[in-house]
Amino acid sequence: MMRSDHQKLKSAIDDNLPIINLSSSPLERSEVARLIVKACEEYGFFKVINHGVPNHIIAKMEEVSFKFFNKPVTEKQQATPFGYGCKNIGFNGDSGEVEYLLFPTKTLSIAQAQTSNPISIDDDPTKFRSVVSSYIEAVRELACKILDLMAEGLWVHDKSAFSKLIRDVESDSVFRLNHYPPVLCSSSKNNNSINGSSSNSCKVGFGVHSDPQILTILRSNDVGGLEISPDHGVWIPVSPDPTTFFINVAAWWCKVYADEAAALAFGFGFDDDNVNVMTNGKFVSVKHRVLSNSAKSRMSVAYFGAPSLNARVTTLPELVTPTKPCLYRPFTWAEYKKTVYSLRLGDSRLEIFRK
């Protein structure tokens, strides 16, 4: 793709990336639900404004995140429960210019971990736990609100069909802090970059992947780096917006397009490993990655909403018809998670569940 084509595509994305206003009145709720479903069908990636997460909770989360990552490595390595990681991503050889901290979102898990080996911020061992717990509670509610609106937009009888999976007290949801320190980029050209010159010559912070959980609620500071791939080999920067949350439709919702032409008719490419299970082929997804910045640190905070390990994942009956049979066999989240974490970041994951 020529640079002029890159710029046209970037302009189209900038103009058309869905923005959902969650402060709409009750009378407008059905329209908001319709727009969310439309965004999931055509993009699989959108941002929400007027989301209801208090600014002070967001500000405190960013503050303690930077304070944690500014600590000496020896202190960070003691962090629990899942622990601090640097450069190595997962268990299968993936790596990037990132350091991170993982938490299960269950309040009891956070409390137990912080009791055994607390992360102290400003010499206060309770501050980090308190800030993280408040943030998780707020974004979980945001995720549930969006999932309920999805169900309404799909005309699913049980409006809590999706949200109840992450409201479950045994939910396997995960909270992740990602810190991408400044890394110098090379001066080599990259014709696959939408900005025409330097994207691929920068170090990869987090490699190409799609998220395995139900829904991702993502927020970053004002430093860019997130990119999505709407076409094979083309990467488009997503402008950072600290006042909003980006919503990413996770892998198991997503369908495979029959061919590239159909995908491009929507303006976005397809993930060849992603097939919608619960919605039976209605939603789409794009691959994404994060590149390092040469001048400033990027901080992102992600909530990955997931069901309990023994939750049975299957297509909702309202979305199966004689002409649209169920594509995949039922499976538990534990089965799917085992498959996901046995593979590399960008590998196909759902083929073994095909009927």
With beta carbons less than 8 A apart as the criterion, state whether 225 and 182 touch: no
Return the amino acid letter for 220. S
Closest CA to 199 of 248, 233, 231: 233
For residue 158, the 8-state DSSP code is: S
Over the Cα atoms of the chain, what is R_g? 20
User: Phi/psi zone of residue 84: left (φ > 0), alpha (ψ -120 to 50 degrees), beta?
Assistant: beta
Catalytic residue among 129, 140, 289, 298: 298
Does 344 participate in catalysis according to the annotation? no
With beta carbons less than 8 A apart as the criterion, state whether 308 and 172 touch: yes
* Strand ranges in the chain using DSSP code E only, listed in sequence order: 19-21, 45-49, 83-89, 94-104, 174-180, 204-209, 215-220, 226-231, 234-237, 245-249, 287-291, 298-305, 312-313, 331-332
The residues annotated with a catalytic role in the active site are 298
